[in-house]
Chains A and B, each alone.
Chain A
Amino acid sequence: MRLVLDGVAVTIEGAPIVREAGLVVEPGTFAALVGPNGCGKSTLLRAVYRALRPAAGLISLDEEDLRKLTHRETARRIAVVAQESPADLDFTVDDVVLMGRTPHKRPLSRTTGDDLRRCAEALERVSLSGLANRSFVTLSGGEKQRVLIARALAQESRLLLLDEPTNHLDIRHQLDVLHLVRDLGLTTLAALHDLNHAAEFADRVYVMDTGRIVADELTPEVIARVFGVRAVPRTQFAFERLKEET
């Protein structure tokens, strides 16, 4: 699934947060969106999954204008791991994953064995099969993030959007989540905080600054201009996950 944004502008309460942003995510690739805090990354993602209505510009999926789709049709094409977490009411893990089937169900249709099988498979792909009956709030940060990814998988959409999926995770779990997402092989657009992660995992990195996409690669010049820091090539540490001791 090919995602194209062209001249997208988003205004919140009169303030322009995103101005004329454009980017392309090619089918099956992992694109990262980086930029300083408040540059409009989350807002741009929210416009793509239609929590916000763009003031201008075009968003298309496989040449299809997003505005022509219903919310339900959109949800069958785009799955989202947002920063929001379903922690207020005491949902279990299987409740949360099963929510992913929502756009595939009509109001009166029952949850079928097929739905449950797809959900169980999704949970297995994030290696959490044993936790189906656990309460979501009792999970660790990394487990919660993986459950939300499983929900996105159960949704069976071909485009995956993630809004800072590694937030509040320790380094090991950050790497786990990013490896997991990349290995899914879906067309992916992720807002990332960590430039190292973006450089390492993404096929393409879009750099955002004050509501605009200002570069489509991470060079020392771009980093200096946008983030105001000097980028030093990594020589000391390259984090790699160790194999689990069993």
Chain B
Amino acid sequence: MTVVDTASAQVSGGFRRKSTFGLVLGLLAAAVVVSTWLAVSIGAVPVGLAECWGIVADRLFPGSVAVTWTPVQEQIVWDFRLPRALLALLVGAGLSVVGAVLQALVRNPLADPFLLGISSGASLGAVAVFVLGASTLGGLSLSAAAFGGALLGMVLVYVLAQRGGRLTPARLVLAGVALHFLFQAIYSYILQQAQSGRAAQQVLFWLLGSLGGARWEMLPIPAVVLGAGVTYLLIQHRPLNALAAGEDTATSLGVNVGAFRLQLFVLTSLLVGVMVATSGAIAFVGLMVPHAARLLVGADHRRVLPVSALLGAAFLQLVDIAARTVDAPQELALTIVTAVFGAPFFLWLLRRRA
């Protein structure tokens, strides 16, 4: 949204810090564009940076630029790399926003959709549909099943981690990890029983995430859900702040905590569901990015949410470039790359809190 207006900046004694929010947003938006540009250019068949622009411009406005590229290059950029790069942005933004909301909802900076078993719940839902044959209904049913699985994981971890009406950090992480492995075991079993021949590959996809299957027709659902979700959350940034300060505090500030929490459950499950349905379960993005966002612009969710979305988008774009290039022509699963940063970060966070 916007920086605190100028009238308010004059208010007594610098009550609000001079905000660098606009600058941060601008830089991150530039990072999103540049990383996407690189992602489209880099690969087994290199395509020059100028050609990348040309191909996109030619597709959007046919005949607007002179053709300096081969049809093969055009096909690679337009049919494969661009949808993949756009999906990376959507998934990175979605997982980061979910991480920020979960950390506020459970008042715990260790919250992350992957660590809490919500992503693997979504994977389980998607795999069940995938293998058990309902896939004839198209992409929507896969997303819907992933949403159902995510919601199941969310509710279970919330119920299991509670004791006497309070969520304790240790119980939350332990309950999440236990659920995560349980869901993983179930869908791995389903995939192995299905004997599709590519079972191992499929297990790996849902387990560790990949954007390799990206196609244009996969983009609309995550785009719409992400757009609607972020809009709703920005409108609700005050209740979200209040909830992050505590449930009783939120109640005393006029938030109907029960109803609001339910809305957040459904919204985060929906986001995780559609992201996992397209890219499998990717760890640590939702954990790390909101922390970095708070370091940049403070804890107010009006600023944390858009900054998390842009930062997460650029981050996952770079992660995907690394996953494609580090061990080319082999592709690494995305969680292998995110874990390189995420696992040490998680341990640092854990020790700092203890």
Cβ-defined contact, A75 with B15, below 8 A? no
- Verify if A107 is at the interface (C-beta below 8 Å from B): yes
Taking residues whose C-beta sits less than 8 angstroms from the other chain, chain B's interface range is 35 or more
Inter-chain CA distance A155–B251, complex, in Å, is: 13
Q: Which residues of A contact B15 (CB under 8 A)?
A: 94, 116, 119-120, 123, 132
Which of A78, A96, A124, A133 has a CB less than 8 Å from the CB of B17?
Answer: A133
Q: Which residues of A contact B298 (CB under 8 A)?
A: 90-92, 95
- A49 and B252 contact, Cβ closer than 8 Å, known pairs A89-B299, A99-B241, A116-B16: yes
The 7 closest A-B pairs by CB, nearest first: A75-B254, A86-B245, A103-B254, A80-B252, A84-B246, A72-B254, A120-B15
Inter-chain CA distance A120–B132, complex, in Å, is: 60
Cβ-defined contact, B246 with A82, below 8 A? yes
Chain A residue at minimum C-beta to C-beta distance from B103: A89
- Verify if B52 is at the interface (C-beta below 8 Å from A): no
Q: Which of B4-12, B264-272, B320-328 contacts A (4 or more CB under 8 A)?
A: B4-12
Cβ-defined contact, B299 with A105, below 8 A? no
6 CB < 8 A contacts A-B: A71-B254, A79-B252, A88-B108, A90-B299, A111-B8, A132-B15
Cβ-defined contact, A71 with B245, below 8 A? no
Q: Which residues of B contact A60 (CB under 8 A)?
A: none
Q: Which residues of B contact A85 (CB under 8 A)?
A: 246
- Verify if A233 is at the interface (C-beta below 8 Å from B): no
- A102 and B7 contact, Cβ closer than 8 Å, known pairs A46-B248, A74-B254, A94-B15: no
Minimum distance in angstroms from A111 CB to a CB of chain B:
7
Counting residue pairs across A and B whose Cβ atoms lie within 8 Å, the total is 135
- Verify if B14 is at the interface (C-beta below 8 Å from A): yes
User: 1/0 per residue B278-290: CB within 8 Å of A?
Assistant: 0000000000000
Minimum distance in angstroms from A37 CB to a CB of chain B:
16
Cβ-defined contact, A95 with B253, below 8 A? no
Q: Which residues of A contact B252 (CB under 8 A)?
A: 49, 51, 75, 78-80, 82, 161
Which of B12, B241, B246 has a CB less than 8 Å from the CB of A95?
Answer: B241
- Verify if B142 is at the interface (C-beta below 8 Å from A): no
Which of A76, A116, A117 has a CB less than 8 Å from the CB of B254?
Answer: A76
User: 1/0 per residue B222-263: CB within 8 Å of A?
Assistant: 000000000000011011011011111101111110000000
- Verify if A228 is at the interface (C-beta below 8 Å from B): no
- A155 and B11 contact, Cβ closer than 8 Å, known pairs A107-B235, A133-B17: no
Cβ-defined contact, B253 with A113, below 8 A? no
- Verify if A50 is at the interface (C-beta below 8 Å from B): yes
Which of A71, A79, A107, A121 has a CB less than 8 Å from the CB of B251?
Answer: A71
- Verify if A112 is at the interface (C-beta below 8 Å from B): yes
User: 1/0 per residue A65-81: CB within 8 Å of B?
Assistant: 00000111111101110
